[in-house]
Chain A
Amino acid sequence: MTVLVLTLAGPLQAWGSESRFTTRATDDAPTKSGIVGLLAAAQGRRRSDSLEDYVGLRLGVRIDQPGRLLRDFQTARSLDGRQPMPLSYRYYREDARFLAVVHAEDSLLELFVDALRHPVFPLYLGRRSCPPAEPLVPRLLDAPLGMALRDEPWRAAPWWRRRCGDEPPMLEFRVDRGAAPELADRVDGSTVQRDEPVSFDPEHRQYGWRTVDLGSVPVPGAPAPAPSGVRLTHDPFEAVD
């Protein structure tokens, strides 16, 4: 089983799955429509092109560095400056880093790797204004999807690791239901979200529902836990009588 492994890092990212009208939300992890759109853009597909050969593509993402939520109050005017456009709130993830693992036909994955190295259209992380800050480092891995999510090195930035200190956090993952049987004992919930792209055509955009399993894995190769015996509460009166 071969999977494609990507690192998604940027000062701003926006992965929305259910926005309507002037409030443009972001999820806390990359969406399937966002990742599929990224791959399609790299291959140079137009929005109206068919997505048929992507059917059966499975996605797993891991939140290596959750970042923070940023709200942007956006104003805009028409090109001639006369007409005000609707005021909107746009949400972003700041300073987040994600691991994305894609499973598909081997031939398709190889096309993806080539395309990501020489993308036809500019690549962005969920919203056009969010370019990646680092190369996506596309890499093929001969492992099941769940193993990649569990064993791939932690993508967090050094400053974030320092902040986590001796207790590295559990890393949350989101994976298509049934795509990672190896992580079955790590799953502690599921959700349905409407981000399975059917068509990106601006004339009639369409998304289907998909079931996503949620869970968390420990940081791979984490350092040993902090020395025991240190309590956080301290009451000197216990000793004095």
Chain B
Amino acid sequence: MYLSRIQLNPQRRDARRLLGSPQRLHAAVLASYPDAPTGALDGAPRVLWRLDVEPDARTFLYVVSPDRPDFAHLAEQAGWPSTERGTSKEYGPFLDRLAPGQRWAFRLTANPTQYVVPEHGGRAKRVAHVSVPHQEKWLTERAESAGFHIAMTPLPGVDSDVAAPVLRVTRRTTHQFSRRGADKPVTLAAAQFDGVLVVHDADVLRRTLIAGIGPGKAYGCGLLTLAPVS
């Protein structure tokens, strides 16, 4: 597995075209591989990507994939072709070091959804969680089966300290974009989570890191990344 990153230049017209549509950006990411992996089974390694906009407005594309990507076309169309051509690192050694009890700062952009059965019967409908409390609850409930817990921190309360999860929704967006061959546009509610997690089951977490969390994986959702806790 490889973890890769390339900084994109939003000043360029082609970059804006890509940043404006998860559909196009997904195609550009998959074009980084000679044999683009498609239709991965649930839980199997696949190409996951995420767009991070830092507070200073730098835009990074992160990709986790089974093969090493070649970002030449992205750098040429939407980056800085002569200086920034992206970096890729082996992800395996890091994954092997994961062990229960470790604390990591994490970031995840996900598409939190639930299934709602219509009142008068029929097929269940997938609808997005759009409020912060629901989105936080969605992730907290999934943490167990994804191999981690959200870290807790004491907060001064009225009588005694209260335990509060170290978790925040740092960005919420609703994308709407057209998809070739479909007459209706795709609507996708995405939430970016930042927080601290505690590793619970290292094997399960490894699978989560390479297979993603939740729906919308082709549209920049589901990629969880870890960084040292400061």
- A residues with CB within 8 A of B: 165-166, 224, 226-241
With an 8 Å Cβ cutoff, the count of chain B residues facing the other chain is 37
Bound CA–CA A226/B132 (angstroms) = 14
Question: A236 CA to B5 CA in the complex, in Å?
Answer: 10
| B117 touches A (CB below 8 Å) | no
Q: Which residues of A contact B173 (CB under 8 A)?
A: none
Also in contact, A240 and B165, with CB within 8 A (given A231-B105, A233-B54, A234-B52):
no
Residue of A nearest to B58 (CB): A233
Instruction: Other than A230-B167, A236-B107, give 20 A-B pairs with Cβ distance below 8 A.
Output: A227-B155, A227-B164, A227-B165, A229-B151, A229-B166, A229-B195, A229-B196, A230-B196, A232-B54, A233-B54, A233-B55, A234-B105, A234-B227, A236-B3, A236-B62, A236-B225, A236-B226, A237-B3, A238-B227, A240-B91
Contacts of A234 in B (CB 8 A): 52, 105-107, 194, 225, 227
Determine the distance from Cα of A228 to Cα of B167 in the docked complex, in whole angstroms.
9
Those of B83-132 within 8 Å (CB) of chain A: 87, 89-91, 93-94, 104-107, 132
Give the A-binding residues of B (Cβ under 8 A): 3, 5, 52, 54-55, 62, 87, 89-91, 93-94, 104-107, 132, 151, 153, 155-157, 164-168, 170, 194-196, 225-230
B107 contacts across to A, CB distance below 8 A: 234, 236
Tell me the complex Cα distance, A227–B164, Å.
7
Q: Which residues of chain A have C-beta atoms less than 8 A from B156's C-beta?
A: 224
Flag if B87 contacts A237 (CB, 8 Å).
Answer: yes
Known A226-B168, A240-B3, A241-B89; contact A232-B55, beta-carbon cutoff 8 A: yes
Nearest residue (CB) in A for B52 is A234
What are 30 sample pairs from A and B whose C-beta atoms fall under 8 A apart?
A: A166-B168, A224-B156, A227-B153, A229-B153, A229-B229, A230-B105, A230-B170, A230-B195, A230-B196, A231-B105, A231-B230, A232-B170, A232-B194, A234-B52, A234-B105, A234-B106, A236-B3, A236-B62, A236-B226, A237-B3, A237-B5, A237-B89, A238-B227, A238-B228, A239-B227, A240-B3, A240-B89, A240-B90, A240-B93, A240-B94
Which of B153, B195, B227, B230 has its CB near the most chain A CB atoms (within 10 A)?
B227
* Chain A residues with CB under 8 A of B104: 239
Q: How far is the CB of A23 from chain B (nearest CB, A)?
A: 33
Q: Which residues of A contact B227 (CB under 8 A)?
A: 234-236, 238-239
Cα distance, A240 to B97, chains bound together (Å): 10
Task: Give the distance in Å from the alpha carbon of A238 to the alpha carbon of B107 in the complex.
Answer: 13
When chains A and B are docked, how far (Å) is the Cα of A239 from the Cα of B94? 7
Chain B neighbourhood of A237, CB < 8 A = 3, 5, 87, 89
Is B228 touching A239 in the complex (CB atoms < 8 A)? yes
Q: How far is the CB of A224 from chain B (nearest CB, A)?
A: 5
A232, closest chain B residue (CB): B55
Contacts A231-B105, A234-B105, A235-B227 given; indicate if A224 touches B151 (C-beta within 8 A).
Answer: no
